[in-house]
Amino acid sequence: MDLMPSSRTNNNALRPQVAGKFLVVNNEKFYIRGVTYGTFRPDEQGNEYSFEKVEQDFQQIAANGFNSIRTYTVPPSWLLDAAQRNGLYVMVGLPWEQHVTFLDDKSRIESIKERVRFGVESCAGHPAILCYTIGNEIPSRIVRWYGPQRVERFLKELYGVAKKVDPEGLVTYVNYPSTEYLQLPFVDFLSFNVYLETEERLSNYLARLQNIAGEIPLVLAEIGLDSGRNGEEKQAVMLDWQIRTAFRGGCAGAFIFSWTDEWHRGGYDIEDWDFGLTTRQREPKISLAAVAKAFAESPFPPNAVLPRISVAVCSYNGGQVIRDCMEGLLELKYPNFEVIVVDDGSNDNTAEIVSRYPFQLIRTENRGLGSARNTALKAATGEIIAYTDDDARPDPHWLHYLAQTFATTNHAAVGGPNIAPAGDGWIAECVANAPGGPVHVLLNDEIAEHIPGCNSAFRAENLRQIGGWDPRYRAAGDDVDTCWRLQHMGWTIGFNPAAMVWHHRRDSIKTYWNQQIGYGKAESLLEEKWSEKYNATGHLAWHGRLYGKGLTQALISLNERVYQGSWGSAPFQSVYQSAPNKWWSLPLMPEWYLIIGLLAMLSGLGVLWQPLFGISLSLLVLSVGAVLAQAIISASKATFPGPQKTEIELLKSYAVTAFLHILQPLARLKGRIRYGLTPWRRRGDPRMVLPRLQTKSVWSENWREPEQVLKSLHNLLQEDGAIMCIGGDFDSWDLDVRGGIMASARVLMTVEEHGGGKQLFRFKIYPRFSKKWSLVLLLFTGLAIKAGFDYSNQGVSVLIVSVFLSVMALLLLSLIYNECASPMAAILGSIESLKQKLSIQVHQTKYVAAVENEETANAGTDANFGNQGNSEVVLDKS
């Protein structure tokens, strides 16, 4: 590493910076291969470090392949110079009294801030600085004493102090599992001390930490093992797999605790722990060679057998963005891959740009995204096919991480994060913090329910088995459909947090608006095909949790609980979230704007009649206020990478981000309504019957599993296009067929056993009305009656109001009736189909039995002739 010789040369190009999930130096990825250094017993003058010993140690550290050290105190400038001479970066600890109740005394708070400020000032601008740590493992009982929010706010203040002194310096807080729940999105990267002694547990926990880290890097600030208790050989073995597991888990680096057994803490030499890679006399342990080897072979082992990967890029008029994608593909470091670019009928210079690169270009007429992806699949020669978009740029090691996950799992598909790059303009930064972006949905820390198409890879054999991509999805929705079809086959989808791509966001509000309208259309197409995955209002109910920036926050946040253990003693303390409250989630839906429109209309009409005006205007204010509050809360969580902004620039960015949170549901609503995905949509049987309790029976001559009969009924309803859900563990019904958001019809089945395998299946079919919508109906009716009574006193204007409210009540009643009558008809029709189906099967069974009896009777006279004749009859009948 060619470092500048001057300790005060402010050359920020030499200092590590954050780039997505990794660190970079001079635009080259920088993996931290570090070791902790100190703390040591101070000499008589109070100096913790000895110049001669430091120089000797740093030479030995560098010679063994390390590139970073971590100190727990602020180092003197000469130590930073020594680190620079030996090609080492320094993680600088800023110590303060975090093991006491530090927030009780205002003077102590100011003293801590001043010491942090002084510590950063003494190092600011030095090219050997890796980062500053504003704290290390605040004890869980101290955090529990104050509550996490107060501690988070204080750490954010310390972060601001450090950044003000050294704006280009990276700042982190070193956490540990006992306070895992601390939310610190403001730090430049996430740091954790983790001591786990089984490979599987460490791997699983790293996946959890990666999801906590989100779009910023994860660094293990301490890993290690005590050789005094476990032996040097076990220490070497364990450090070897800890390092490899850390890098395989997508970490940006790791620090081994520690360089030497010499350790001084709290005024005492620690003699009963031996975590060092060298002894107190600096004699190497066998673990030093093991660590050096593991670091040298990480993150990717040399000479590993890697599968061939086909990279597919599909583009339609992507001339303005595809060049950056092509440049990124050129920089992929994977040794065995091909690139296939499908130009889907572009009428710009897309093909001309792509033709300048050494990639396969296939030009087709414009058939849409799903078809283009199938074209790439047909041409692919790799056993894995990875897709990215023309406005995305893959990380140089993107394919390595994908291949690594495929090699160690049986997943049919694997995805990774897509992160908006800095430098696309402030509107693009706001869009990156707005809803409607490509997010991934995880069922747990490693298994995905959905991965966006801009960063998705598949075993080509599995993708071909499901028939590839569905061509009906011309611009969006194809990735959701493909993920569901893979899961329907019983396969799983994995997620690797290090397999990242840079994904450029829309750089104007107009293009963002048009994109979200298209997403509304995609939702409509998906609901037509996968109606059982959508609720009555036409919204997808994910089983997993959404991860990514820009998610709109509900007014009342999820009920979060920290698992702290008895008396706060749990070593791993995580946040658990309950399911979102349905009613507090209503303002998140695009259809909330329809309610606002209705209330605005009623408020306008209420000018003619005061009681209506008061009620409707109050509800209108609350409805609009809910949207505005959600937007402001959500925008406040936005982060803007890149150079620090002025207060005016930040205010402008937050304001536009809040506006996009308001705009996006409107765009989606427009797309959904345009393509038929409305709360009043009709699916399934167009017939209607009187919504009342009915019972139907189906006789079966042959015994059948009751669950199989219900499944057959479910399939018949599904074929008829009905939207339904299946009763759960605590439900006293079997199927609920939705008519809309206000009503449905339910089925309950029982079975009578009549001996000899004969059964009578009884079905109870009954309507179900929404109590809340019934109250709305009563409200409209009551207001209409009240206005009618007021007509004689207040004139014709109130009569107009009464008539309007009466019409609204009748319309609502009609909708409720239809939403009961239609699913009732669908159920009754499907039961009749089920009865015919069972009757046909019984008839066929009786016929085959008769044929078999005839075969037996003829066997003794003319077996060959009888068997041939009867076989033909059976085949004809079938």
pLDDT surpasses 50 at 290 = yes
Q: If 0-12 CB within 10 Å is exposed, 13-18 middle and 19+ buried, where does residue 426 land? A: middle
Q: What is the pLDDT of residues 197-243, one digit of tens each?
A: 999 999 999 999 999 999 999 999 999 999 999 999 999 999 999 99
pLDDT surpasses 60 at 844 = no
Does residue 843 or residue 823 have the better pLDDT?
823
Please give the distance of CA 309 from its chain centroid, rounded to a whole number.
25
The single residue listed with the structure tokens 């593991």 is: 294
pLDDT surpasses 50 at 320 = yes
Which pLDDT belongs to residue 557?
A: 60
Which pLDDT belongs to residue 251?
A: 97
**Top mean-pLDDT range of 43-52, 73-82, 680-689:** 73-82
With pLDDT > 90 as the criterion, what percentage of the chain qualifies? 68
If one counts every other C-beta atom within 10 angstroms of the C-beta of residue 579, the result is 8
Which pLDDT belongs to residue 873?
A: 26
* Mean pLDDT confidence for 127-140: 96
Which pLDDT belongs to residue 532?
A: 76
pLDDT surpasses 70 at 10 = no
Which pLDDT belongs to residue 651?
A: 94
DSSP 758-817: -EEEEEEEEEEE-HHHHHHHHHHHHHHHHHHHHHHHH-HHHHHHHHHHHHHHHHHHHHHH
Which CA distances in Å does 67 have to 30, 53, 296, 750, 761? 9, 18, 11, 71, 74
* Mean pLDDT confidence for 30-41: 95
Which pLDDT belongs to residue 685?
A: 61
Which pLDDT belongs to residue 682?
A: 66
User: What does the mean pLDDT of the chain come to?
Assistant: 89
* Mean pLDDT confidence for 445-452: 94
Burial 324-359 (b: 16+ CB within 10 A, else e): bbbebbeebebeebbbbbbbbbbeeebbebbeebeb
State the CATH class of domain 309-504: alpha beta
Which pLDDT belongs to residue 573?
A: 75
Burial 287-298 (b: 16+ CB within 10 A, else e): bbebbbebbebb
Which pLDDT belongs to residue 740?
A: 80
Going by pLDDT thresholds of 50, 70 and 90, the confidence category of residue 141 is very high
Going by pLDDT thresholds of 50, 70 and 90, the confidence category of residue 71 is very high
Q: If 0-12 CB within 10 Å is exposed, 13-18 middle and 19+ buried, where does residue 806 land? A: middle
Q: If 0-12 CB within 10 Å is exposed, 13-18 middle and 19+ buried, where does residue 684 land? A: buried
* Mean pLDDT confidence for 746-774: 91
| Structure tokens, 34 | 């570090």
If one counts every other C-beta atom within 10 angstroms of the C-beta of residue 104, the result is 10
User: How far is it, in rounded angstroms, from Cα 484 to Cα 490?
Assistant: 10
Does residue 7 or residue 188 have the better pLDDT?
188
Which pLDDT belongs to residue 719?
A: 84
Which pLDDT belongs to residue 313?
A: 98
If one counts every other C-beta atom within 10 angstroms of the C-beta of residue 662, the result is 19
- SS in 3 state form for 135-191? EECCCHHHHHHHCHHHHHHHHHHHHHHHHHHCCCCCEEEEECHHHCCCCCCCCCCEE
User: Which of 46-50, 111-115, 808-812, 869-873 bottoms out in mean pLDDT, i.e. has the lowest?
Assistant: 869-873
User: Which of 416-430, 606-620, 672-686 bottoms out in mean pLDDT, i.e. has the lowest?
Assistant: 672-686
Which pLDDT belongs to residue 857?
A: 47
* Mean pLDDT confidence for 345-361: 96
pLDDT surpasses 90 at 617 = yes
pLDDT surpasses 50 at 5 = no
User: How far is it, in rounded angstroms, from Cα 56 to Cα 759?
Assistant: 88
Going by pLDDT thresholds of 50, 70 and 90, the confidence category of residue 578 is low
pLDDT surpasses 60 at 590 = yes
pLDDT surpasses 90 at 30 = yes
If one counts every other C-beta atom within 10 angstroms of the C-beta of residue 776, the result is 15
pLDDT surpasses 90 at 348 = yes
Task: Tell me the whole-structure pTM to 2 decimals.
Answer: 0.86
Which pLDDT belongs to residue 559?
A: 59
Which pLDDT belongs to residue 852?
A: 43
With pLDDT > 70 as the criterion, what percentage of the chain qualifies? 92
Phi–psi pair at 364, nearest 5 degrees:
-130, 170
pLDDT surpasses 50 at 850 = no
Q: What is the pLDDT of residues 449-493, one digit of tens each?
A: 999 999 999 999 999 999 999 999 999 999 999 999 999 999 999
Crossing angle of helices 77-85 and 51-63, rounded to 10°: 30
Which pLDDT belongs to residue 550?
A: 85
Superfamily of the domain at 12-296: Glycosidases (3.20.20.80)
